[in-house]
């Protein structure tokens, strides 16, 4: 989300305010930035709107406490934070607001390929072929790429240097993951009936 320029007019230190009002203003700035952003905002970007040496983590913790009981929350996603509506209000929003289609509309095989990329990244199309026992179409890769769920990774060090594929920040957002370490392990997938036990 960071801009390439810095607004010199922004008083980050707020030295003219008492300490409690200064803290409250920094919290509101962070809230405003999170509200305005369509993607997770990093600690470094949030630090640009508060005083030097101020703990963004403590401000976020206080903002989370301040929002307790409200219809929206601060979520940690993809090494950053975003404001989002609490899941309990999803039906009310869809009923009353024009939020458009926000589901991913992925076929079962699309999700399987996406999972393979997530678990084995960076991976080439040949690597996906080894997993699935058949060629993965460029069209499927294109659809996942167009939805912003995958991107190209480093070129493979093999002959011809084929492209590899990796998941993106949008993948983490879409599946409500903070990091790839939050992906379920094999035992969790077996327990959920997603894969059979080996």
pLDDT tens digit sequence for 44-80 = 999 999 988 999 999 999 999 999 999 989 998 888 9
Cα dihedral 29, 35, 40, 46 in deg (nearest 10): -10
Residue 3 lies in a domain: no
| Average pLDDT value for residue range 148-163 | 88
Residue 13 lies in a domain: no
pLDDT attached to residue 187:
77
The pLDDT tens digits of the residues spanning 84-93 come to 888 888 788 8
State the total domains in the chain. Answer: 2
The pLDDT tens digits of the residues spanning 91-104 come to 888 788 766 555 67
CATH number of the domain within which 159 lies: 1.10.10.10
Residue 7 lies in a domain: no
Residue 151 lies in a domain: yes
Boundary of a domain, candidates 44, 63, 96: 96
Computed over every residue of the chain, the mean pLDDT equals 85
Residue 2 lies in a domain: no
User: Are both 27 and 88 inside the same structural domain?
Assistant: yes
pTM, to two decimals:
0.60
- Total residues belonging to the chain: 198
Residue 198 lies in a domain: no
The pLDDT tens digits of the residues spanning 3-50 come to 555 556 888 888 889 989 999 999 999 999 999 988 899 999 999 999
pLDDT attached to residue 47:
94
User: Are both 179 and 118 inside the same structural domain?
Assistant: yes
The pLDDT tens digits of the residues spanning 172-195 come to 888 888 888 888 887 776 676 666
Task: Spell out the residues 6+ positions from residue 140 whose beta carbon is closer than 8 angstroms to its own.
Answer: 109, 110, 113
pLDDT attached to residue 98:
65
User: Are both 61 and 119 inside the same structural domain?
Assistant: no
Residue 6 lies in a domain: no
Boundary of a domain, candidates 56, 72, 96: 96
Q: E-strand spans in the chain?
A: 72-77, 80-85, 150-152, 165-167
Identify the domain containing residue 145 by its residue range.
108-191
3-state class (DSSP) for residue 155 = coil
User: Are both 63 and 128 inside the same structural domain?
Assistant: no
Residue 136 lies in a domain: yes
pLDDT attached to residue 120:
92
Boundary of a domain, candidates 53, 70, 96: 96
């Amino acid at each position: 989300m960071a801009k390439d320029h810095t607004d010199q007019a922004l008083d980050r230190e707020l030295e003219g305010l008492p300490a409690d009002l200064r803290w409250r203003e920094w919290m509101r700035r962070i809230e405003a930035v999170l509200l305005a952003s369509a993607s997770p905002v990093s600690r470094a970007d949030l630090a640009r709107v508060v005083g030097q040496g101020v703990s963004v983590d403590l401000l976020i913790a206080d903002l989370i406490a301040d929002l307790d009981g409200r219809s929206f929350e601060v979520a940690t996603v993809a090494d950053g934070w975003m404001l989002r509506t609490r899941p309990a209000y999803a039906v009310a929003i869809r009923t009353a607001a024009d939020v458009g289609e926000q589901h991913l509309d992925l076929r079962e095989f699309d999700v399987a390929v996406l999972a393979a990329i997530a678990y084995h990244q960076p991976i080439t199309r040949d690597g996906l072929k080894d997993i699935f026992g058949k060629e993965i179409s460029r069209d499927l890769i294109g659809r996942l790429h167009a939805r912003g769920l995958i991107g190209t990774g480093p070129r493979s060090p093999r002959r011809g240097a084929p492209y590899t594929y990796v998941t993106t920040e949008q993948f983490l957002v879409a599946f409500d993951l903070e990091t790839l370490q939050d992906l379920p392990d094999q035992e969790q997938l077996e327990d959920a009936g997603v894969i059979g036990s080996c």
